Amino acid sequence: MLANFTNIIIRLSGDVLSKDAISQGILPTNPTDGAILPRWNKKEMHALEQNEVQRFLKSATDSRFFYVYYLAILTGMRLGELMGLRWSDVDFQNHIVSVNRQAQAIKGKGILYSEPKTRSGIRKIRIQQNTIDALFQQKEKIHDMKNKAGHKWVENDLVFPSTVGTPMIAYYLRKDFFHQLSVAGLPRIRFHDLRHTAATLMINHGVPITVISKMLGHSKPSVILDFYGHCSVAMHEEASRIMDGMVNQN
């Protein structure tokens, strides 16, 4: 992996530097012309179907991570974004969740917060009343957690904290996630696949690509087409039906 990454850096930086060196007469040819870039293989995505989402959420109703799963599916937010979400980022009156930061576990340093990697990652996501109600229920759950933790509670204004108010540990969430999938009789997928699930469901129900792109925080709509274009089987079928009806009118 490191060797492949190094080859890419050498090739990309070499192309720029070598062109300058050639134009200035320092090099006769570009020494990176023969470099072979490694093929980039996309990680296989596994999205849940609509009925599977309902089965999963029903199974996970009593999980302390239920509302993490719920918001991940409804919004397509990344795990780091959910872990970094604060109550100050939730506008209950205007039904908006603002994504301003992400949490990341750094070995030897614990959980650190930073802005999303790209400017498009900083975004506002509109939510409906059902999600507002769900977040109010999460508030009530945190109130009970505070009472139970007592003086051990550390206030961080987190929407999804640990049982003592500190940043949530992803290991325990993933462990519960796999358990809930098993109980629901669903295949073992990654937590990140809930993001793919959100995107796929929106595509299959006709949500415009530009809207999905902004909601997920992608830099450009073409990212959605590259990753999820093959998933819209239902839309392809509908397009085929419409075209067939128009061309073969009696």
Q: What is the pLDDT of residues 63-121, one digit of tens each?
A: 999 999 999 999 999 999 999 999 999 999 999 999 999 999 888 888 899 998 888 89
pLDDT-above-90 percentage for the chain: 56
**Amino acid residing at 98:** S
The SS3 call for residue 159 is coil
- How many other CB atoms are found less than 10 A from the CB of residue 88? 10
Mean of all residue pLDDT scores within the chain: 84
pTM exceeds 0.75: yes
Contact 134, 67 (CB under 8 A): yes
- For residue 224, pLDDT beyond 80: no
As a whole number of Å, the CA-based R_g of the chain is 23
pLDDT score of 12: 44
d(C-alpha 67, C-alpha 39), whole Å: 38
Residue 149, pLDDT > 90, answer: yes
pLDDT of residue 10: 43
Residue pair 106/100 in contact by the 8 Å Cβ criterion: no
pLDDT computed for residue 39 by the predictor: 58
**Upper half-sphere CA count for residue 202 (Cβ side, 13 Å):** 23
Q: Where are the domains of the chain?
A: 1-41, 50-234
- What is the Cα–Cα distance from 131 to 136, expressed in whole angstroms? 9
Q: For the chain, where are the E strands, in sequence order? A: 90-91, 96-99, 102-106, 110-114, 123-126
DSSP one-letter code for 121: G
Higher pLDDT, residue 14 or 158: 158
Fold category of 50-234 in CATH: hpI Integrase; Chain A (1.10.443)
> What pLDDT score was predicted for residue 13?
47
Q: Quick check: 5 pLDDT over 70? A: no
Strand partners, 110: 106
Contacts 24+ apart (CB under 8 A), 220-225: 220/120, 224/199
Task: State the alpha helices, DSSP H only, in 76-192.
Answer: 79-84, 129-149, 170-183
The angle at the Cα of 63, spanning 186 to 98, to the nearest 5 degrees, equals 95
Distance CA 47, CA 232 (A): 11
The pLDDT confidence band at residue 159, using thresholds 50, 70 and 90, is very high
- The pair of structure tokens assigned to 13 is 């930086």
Contact between residue 90 and residue 97 where contact means Cβ atoms under 8 Å apart:
yes
> Residue 234: which pLDDT band, with cuts at 50, 70 and 90?
low
According to DSSP, the β-strands at 96-99 and 90-91 are antiparallel
Q: What is the mean pLDDT of residues 187-199?
A: 95
